[in-house]
Structure 1
């Protein structure tokens, strides 16, 4: 299923890609549209040709080989099915809700710049829980940073708050 993707300006000056043919670079762009949100696509030259170049006389298998030789993509196989991965795909593509269509190996995960799953994170990460039950600044009364007004806080609200405080002080003084 094709997807809308953004194109990084560095694509046109990538040292590994500028040495490839015009058709190979165009195929590389098309692979980005055909790939899942991890940068993985099924290695099916005939299907890719029909989706990307339906009326052009282009040999997609040869262009895929050219892109592999340039290091722009890599081919791998899992359970007898062939897949391709786009180099550094996740460096520039950050989908909001990524899908998980094609299988991936740790080597391929590094190739497409995909972060490791949460369960594989190393111990160098900061502890997500504050020590000794301390409350984060958002949880303390007043919230946020000290001396910082909350969002939406206006002078009018500040003046109104002062008048309420003054009224309370006056009522309490009368008691």
Structure 2
């Protein structure tokens, strides 16, 4: 079991799942690093780390590549590009990744959050997604999603991200994850 006082959550502080991961980290005494950029509106500001323009450019990614990977269209909007860049910092910093969202039939995770899940796959990081629609946790194993019961945070450096549209079951999944991991 990981000790809360030696652990760090890497997230983004945005409304919804990220802010809830932050609230739970604060409750359990877990350190936080919330990656953001100048002008980005976030809800949870503990451990704020504002990325410079130079740092964001280092994580530049082709939106057409991301669109192709996720089977959806991303606009070339500056805001979306910066959000995807900050997600890359979150994933790289964590040794395991926890996501709240929706696992879709094509194996991707819905929305911009899907880029975090895909990037975790590319980086070969342990990846867990709580699918609000299916009310269950899934782990990415051997190129497919496998339903798992009650995952725990087992690395001192972990990432928590997900949908802005956090439902009650997603909120409970985060609370239960922290309770199991940091008794």
Please, what TM-score do these two structures have when normalized by structure 2?
0.27
Q: Which has the higher strand share?
A: 2
Kindly indicate whether structure 1 or structure 2 has the higher relative contact order, using CA contacts under 8 Å at least 6 residues apart. 2
Please, what TM-score do these two structures have when normalized by structure 1?
0.28
Q: Which has the higher helix share?
A: 1
Q: Which has the larger radius of gyration?
A: 1
